Structure 1
Amino acid sequence: MMKTLEPQPQEVKDNLEELLKDLDEKIPPKQLDRNLLIATWNIRGFGDLTRVWMSKEGDTPRRDLHSVHCIAEILRRFDVIAIQEVKSNIRALRDTLKILGSEWSMILTDVNQGDAGNGERMAYLFDTRRVNLSGLAGELVVPDEWRNGVSKNVMQEQFVRSPYAVSFRSKHQTFILITLHVLYGKKSTDRINELKGIAQWLSSWAKDINAYHQNLIILGDFNIEARGDLLDQTFLSEGLYIPEGLQSKEVSRSIFNDTKYYDQIAWFNGANGQPKLSLEFVRGGSYDFVATALKNRGLTKQKLSFMMSDHYPLWAEFKL
């Protein structure tokens, strides 16, 4: 069995060099004490991997060392990344952490039980040279009082995959990230209650003057179908804000369909009595790896999605 940090074959090395050049052109550089780069990425079925440099037809899983190195180099460009679809087997995640090096760390949930939870965890990877934990970590649950409500849009059950909140500190700024992976369901209306529930939960938290910290940023896979659709409006109904830079049609979420609006990064901007985020948003976008990562492998998009992902990473840069 090959090891993650063994010398790379030349064709892998060449592809990684091309990927690094592309990342240099498309992702802002990290600037000491000046900026903060936050990202979210649903990495498809991020669990086991085949420890060879280039997997072949019949290998299970198809994700290999080449693809994990590509994933790691993309993640390296950010300071803290929320990752969805981490599976019970975390071999690929552990290998990714090895590639990133000793300055990187992670914190993650246990596995969501039940069929609807799909055996997933949620995780954060972070560069400890620029970001550190600041003391709070927990999963969000729906209060009984809300579940006993009479509105048709009140959640009647707990979140299928509990949103995961963790507080971080960078320079003088402390902030709480809340990541989630909303239930997809059989139809789009199945997602409304979870989106409404998380928005209501965060609005209540943001207005609580005794809260641990009010710099709240929510990010993850919300399974919102399209810009401006019912789910989008439901999610934003409690005052959450998505900047124009992340709403642009140029900022794609899915490698298969540019119109999908699944992944989001949002916060409160001071409207409706909620506190204003103290971090200043600079710019944001998604990173399209399709034309570069594993370019030499001749993969279809479908095969690429199982080795990299079917989602693009979504990122936001803030001024410190």
Structure 2
Amino acid sequence: MDSILDPMPASVSENLKLFQADLSSKIPAKALDRNLLIATWNIRAFGNLTRKWQSQEDDSPKRDLQSIVCIAEIISRFDVIAIQEVKSNIRALRDTLKLLGDHWSLILTDVTKGSAGNGERMAYLFDTRRVNLSGLACELVVPKEWSSGVDNHVLENQFVRTPYAVSFKSCGQTFILVTLHIKYGKKSSDRIAELKWIAKWLADWAGDINAYHQNLITLGDFNIDERGDLLNKTFLEEGLYVPPALQNEVVTRSIFNETKYYDQIAWFMNNQHVPNLSLEFKTGGHFDFLSTALTNRDLTKQRLSFMLSDHYPLWAEFRL
């Protein structure tokens, strides 16, 4: 059995050089004490893997060691990244951490039980040379007192996959990240209740923490099909703000459909339309890995989606 720390085959090493150059051309470099790079990525069914450098047709799962090399290389470009669809089996996650090195750490939830939760958990991976935990880790639960509904959208149960909040510190700046993965449902209207209640919860919390000069940022897979109504009726109504750089049509989310708007990074604006952040947003985007990932192999887009993901990573750069 191959190991992620074994010497790479020549074809994998050559592809990695191409992949690294592509990343460097599209994502800002880490600058000591000057910037903070935050990302979110739904990594499709991020659980088990086949410990071969290149999986074969009869292997299951299809994700292999070369896939992990690419995943780890993407993650390494950020200071902290929220990951959705981490499964109960964390073999792929463990190998990713081995490759990233001892200066990387993680914090994650337990597995969501029940068929609706799809056996998933959420995780944060972070570069401890630049970011550290600052003490808070919690899951969002709706109080019973709120059971009357928001604009006639009643959340009959708790969130299917409980949003996960963790606080971090970098260069004296404290920030709280809240990651989520909204249940897709059968139609877009099925998502409104969860989206509105999470937005209300965050708005209520943001009002409490601003006195402490902290930063509240929500990020993850909102499962919003298209730009427009669903986002406007839920998150934006509560004052959450998605910067224009991340609303740009060229910043796509899905490898299969450029119109999809699943993943978001957002924060609150005050009454003067000024961000409720002490961090200054610089720029953001996605990383389209299709042109360079695993190009030494003749893979269909469908197969690549199970090896890397069907989502692109979404990122934001802040000035410290």
Label 1:232 to 1:118 Cα distance change in 2 as closer, same or farther (>3 A).
Answer: farther
CA separation in 1, counterparts of 2:22 and 2:195? Answer: 35
- Alignment map for 1:105-116 (pairs within 5 Å): 105-116=105-116
CA separation in 2, counterparts of 1:229 and 1:131? Answer: 36
Q: Which amino acid aligns with 1:81?
A: I
Question: In structure 2, the residue corresponding to 1:219 is in which secondary structure?
Answer: strand
Aligned-pair CA distance for 1:245: 0.4
Q: Is the 8 A contact 1:132 1:168 kept in 2?
A: yes
CA separation in 1, counterparts of 2:211 and 2:3? Answer: 45
Label 1:55 to 1:33 Cα distance change in 2 as closer, same or farther (>3 A).
Answer: same
Question: Percent identical across equivalent pairs?
Answer: 71
Q: Which amino acid aligns with 1:176?
A: I
Question: In structure 2, the residue corresponding to 1:17 is in which secondary structure?
Answer: helix
CA separation in 2, counterparts of 1:151 and 1:316? Answer: 31
Are 1:294 and 2:312 matched, yes or no?
A: no
Map of 1:306 onto structure 2: 306
Structure 1 stretch displaced more, 143-152 or 160-169: 143-152
Map of 1:166 onto structure 2: 166
CA separation in 2, counterparts of 1:304 and 1:39? Answer: 21
Structure 1 stretch displaced more, 263-272 or 121-130: 263-272
CA separation in 2, counterparts of 1:24 and 1:151? Answer: 45
Q: Is the 8 A contact 1:167 1:174 kept in 2?
A: yes
Structure 1 stretch displaced more, 15-24 or 153-162: 153-162
What TM-score results when the alignment is normalised by the length of structure 2?
0.97
Q: Is the 8 A contact 1:43 1:311 kept in 2?
A: yes
Question: In structure 1, the residue corresponding to 2:296 is in which secondary structure?
Answer: helix
Question: In structure 1, the residue corresponding to 2:97 is in which secondary structure?
Answer: helix
CA separation in 1, counterparts of 2:302 and 2:211? Answer: 44
Aligned-pair CA distance for 1:278: 0.9
CA separation in 2, counterparts of 1:47 and 1:211? Answer: 40
CA separation in 2, counterparts of 1:98 and 1:151? Answer: 47
Q: Which amino acid aligns with 1:38?
A: I
Map of 2:254 onto structure 1: 254
Question: In structure 1, the residue corresponding to 2:21 is in which secondary structure?
Answer: helix
Label 1:204 to 1:150 Cα distance change in 2 as closer, same or farther (>3 A).
Answer: closer
Aligned-pair CA distance for 1:148: 3.5
Are 1:59 and 2:59 matched, yes or no?
A: yes
1:191-243 CA distance string (max 9 Å, x none): 00110011000000011258776410000000001111224432211000000
Structure 1 stretch displaced more, 231-240 or 170-179: 231-240
Map of 2:131 onto structure 1: 131
Map of 1:20 onto structure 2: 20
Are 1:154 and 2:154 matched, yes or no?
A: yes
CA separation in 2, counterparts of 1:271 and 1:303? Answer: 47
CA separation in 1, counterparts of 2:242 and 2:231? Answer: 14
Aligned-pair CA distance for 1:274: 9.4
Label 1:158 to 1:12 Cα distance change in 2 as closer, same or farther (>3 A).
Answer: same
Q: Which amino acid aligns with 1:41?
A: W
- Alignment map for 1:169-184 (pairs within 5 Å): 169-184=169-184
Question: Which ranges of structure 2 fall in alignment gaps of 5 or more residues?
Answer: none
CA separation in 1, counterparts of 2:224 and 2:150? Answer: 25
CA separation in 2, counterparts of 1:234 and 1:138? Answer: 23
- Alignment map for 1:221-236 (pairs within 5 Å): 221-236=221-236
CA separation in 2, counterparts of 1:285 and 1:141? Answer: 30
Label 1:143 to 1:214 Cα distance change in 2 as closer, same or farther (>3 A).
Answer: farther
Structure 1 stretch displaced more, 203-212 or 253-262: 203-212
Aligned-pair CA distance for 1:152: 2.0
Are 1:30 and 2:15 matched, yes or no?
A: no
Aligned-pair CA distance for 1:259: 0.5
CA separation in 1, counterparts of 2:275 and 2:78? Answer: 26
CA separation in 2, counterparts of 1:23 and 1:215? Answer: 28
Q: Is the 8 A contact 1:270 1:277 kept in 2?
A: no
Map of 1:84 onto structure 2: 84
Aligned-pair CA distance for 1:296: 1.0
Structure 1 stretch displaced more, 268-277 or 59-68: 268-277
- Alignment map for 1:182-221 (pairs within 5 Å): 182-208=182-208, 214-221=214-221
Label 1:209 to 1:275 Cα distance change in 2 as closer, same or farther (>3 A).
Answer: farther
- Alignment map for 1:231-242 (pairs within 5 Å): 231-242=231-242
What TM-score results when the alignment is normalised by the length of structure 1?
0.97
Question: In structure 1, the residue corresponding to 2:235 is in which secondary structure?
Answer: helix
Aligned-pair CA distance for 1:153: 1.3
Structure 1 stretch displaced more, 105-114 or 221-230: 221-230
Q: Is the 8 A contact 2:160 2:183 kept in 1?
A: yes
Q: Is the 8 A contact 2:68 2:92 kept in 1?
A: yes
